[in-house]
A and B are shown apart, each in its own frame.
Chain A
Amino acid sequence: ELKVEQNPLFLSMQEGKNYTIYCNYSTTSDRLYWYRQDPGKSLESLFVLLSNGAVKQEGRLMASLDTKARLSTLHITAAVHDLSATYFCAVVPVAGGTSYGKLTFGQGTILTVHP
């Protein structure tokens, strides 16, 4: 059974600082997604990482995937208040047959950026 674990689950940052959110998963997968959820809102796709070594960047966020280590990171550079949200990673479970688009989500990391 695929398990996806994020850490930390809570992250309080000062504006201007850097930090990394980690997403570990337990079985083989070569695709990973990062989503953002603003308070009271639904999930929005941030990044799709489709192969080992994939790196995607948008603004102050950069995501990477290491399939051999079963690890993805979401790096935040020079945090600003607007980045305050909950961030989820989601992994495509690899198993025999068709997955029908199923994803397994991590617990989410609640990020709060303080002035």
Chain B
Amino acid sequence: DVKVTQSSRYLVKRTGEKVFLECVQDMDHENMFWYRQDPGLGLRLIYFSYDVKMKEKGDIPEGYSVSREKKERFSLILESASTNQTSMYLCASSQYPRAHEQYFGPGTRLTVT
């Protein structure tokens, strides 16, 4: 079974802090994704990566950056956390030829105060 893990289930940070959210998958998947989930808005794609060191912006990249130095790990970085980044963050991975069948991690609930 594919396993996608995220470094924290719950995280509380202060406004202005730099925040790192880590995601690791154990199935050698090429594609990895970061979403945020907000009530009534569903999941919105922040960034995705289709290979090591390759990244592309999703629908809401502002205020975020990502890093993929190793195939199994995809990090989401909030350079200067703000209260409007309080949300649930979900990581997912997939591989070809079923690239759209995404496997999700448990999520990190981030609160910025």
Contacts and interface: CB of A to CB of B under 8 A. Distances in A.
B50 A100 contact: yes
Given A42-B106, A42-B107, A105 B48 contact: no
A102 B48 contact: yes
B43 interface: yes
A25 interface: no
Interface in A28-79: 31, 33, 41-45, 48
B29 to A, nearest CB: 9
Interface in A63-101: 88, 90, 92, 98-101
B25 interface: no
A93 to B, nearest CB: 10
B100 A101 contact: yes
Interface residues of B, number: 26
Contact of A48 (B90, B94, B101): B101
Interface residues of A, number: 25
A45 B2 CA distance: 12
Contacts of A90: 43
A103 B102 contact: yes
Given A48-B101, A101-B99, A101-B100, A41 B106 contact: yes
A9 interface: yes
A43 B31 contact: no
Contacts of B35: 105
B90 A43 contact: yes
Interface of B: 31, 33, 35, 40-45, 48, 50, 56, 58, 90, 92, 94, 96, 99-107
Given A9-B40, A33-B101, A100-B99, 7 more contacts: A6-B42, A42-B104, A43-B104, A45-B101, A45-B102, A100-B50, A101-B33
26 contacts: A4-B42, A42-B104, A42-B105, A43-B90, A45-B101, A45-B103, A88-B42, A92-B100, A98-B50, A99-B99, A100-B31, A100-B99, A101-B33, A101-B50, A101-B94, A101-B96, A101-B99, A101-B100, A101-B102, A102-B58, A102-B100, A103-B102, A104-B45, A105-B42, A105-B43, A107-B40
